[in-house]
């Protein structure tokens, strides 16, 4: 509901109606609408970590293929959800300029994702798939940044093409980098 309506347009009453939860029960679990949305972000990150674990932990693939696998699985999840995009990107775009709590939380989440990807990039560097002078953390942040932009375009178009094009471009550029 947060992705469909956005934070500002989603009222608590709509959440209560959709879920059938009484107002008192809602406020027993959440101190405020902000607390609710922050806990949704936490739940979203639990799912992101499961996806990272499944993809980056797949030792049958070389490190760069594991990274790509994570983003392809995420793309598939976006399709299942109707191309609503990334919860972090959506809330970040809506709230980062007006709410420092969300700005810090979303940035921390994106940094965590990039950190996990950077570890896999370091493995690629150690195996010779990336040049020794590569900055794995910088490459991971660039990938996450590009993904978030492509996720927005995918949401606007309700089409995976921007995500696929971005992944193809990024990994082709990485493959073309002299080792």
pLDDT per position as a tens digit, 42-56: 999 999 999 999 999
Is 161 domain-assigned? Answer: yes
Mean pLDDT in the chain?
Answer: 94
Model confidence band, residue 97 (pLDDT cutoffs 50, 70, 90): confident
Model confidence band, residue 176 (pLDDT cutoffs 50, 70, 90): confident
Q: Residue 134: give the domain boundaries.
A: 32-176
pLDDT at 177: 83
Is 127 domain-assigned? Answer: yes
Mean pLDDT within 97-105: 92
Higher pLDDT, 138 or 96: 138
Mean pLDDT within 102-130: 96
pLDDT surpasses 80 at 90: yes
Is 158 domain-assigned? Answer: yes
CATH code at position 112: 1.10.357.10
For the chain, how many structural domains are there in total?
1
Q: What is the pTM of this model?
A: 0.93
Is 18 domain-assigned? Answer: no
Is 2 domain-assigned? Answer: no
Is 121 domain-assigned? Answer: yes
H helix runs in 30-135, sequence order: 33-56, 63-80, 87-95, 100-126
Give pairs for 7-16: CB < 8 Å, separation 24+: 7/33, 7/37, 7/91, 7/94, 7/95, 7/102, 8/94, 12/36
Is 3 domain-assigned? Answer: no
């Amino acid at each position: 509901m947060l992705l469909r309506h956005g934070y500002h347009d989603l009222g608590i009453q709509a959440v209560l109606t959709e879920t059938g939860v009484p107002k008192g029960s809602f406020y027993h679990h959440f101190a405020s609408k902000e607390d609710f949305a922050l806990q949704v972000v936490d739940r979203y990150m639990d799912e992101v970590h499961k996806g990272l674990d499944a993809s980056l932990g797949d030792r049958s693939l070389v490190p760069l293929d594991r990274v790509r696998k994570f983003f392809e699985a995420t793309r598939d999840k976006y399709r299942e959800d109707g191309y609503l995009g990334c919860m972090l990107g959506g809330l970040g775009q809506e709230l980062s300029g007006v709410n420092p709590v969300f700005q810090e939380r979303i940035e921390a989440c994106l940094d965590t994702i990039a950190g996990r990807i950077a570890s896999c990039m370091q493995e690629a560097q150690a195996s010779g798939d990336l040049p020794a002078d590569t900055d794995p953390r910088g490459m991971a942040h660039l990938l996450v940044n590009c993904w978030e932009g492509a996720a927005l375009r995918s949401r606007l178009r309700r089409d995976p093409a921007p995500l696929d094009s971005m992944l193809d471009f990024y990994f082709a550029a990485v493959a073309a980098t002299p080792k």
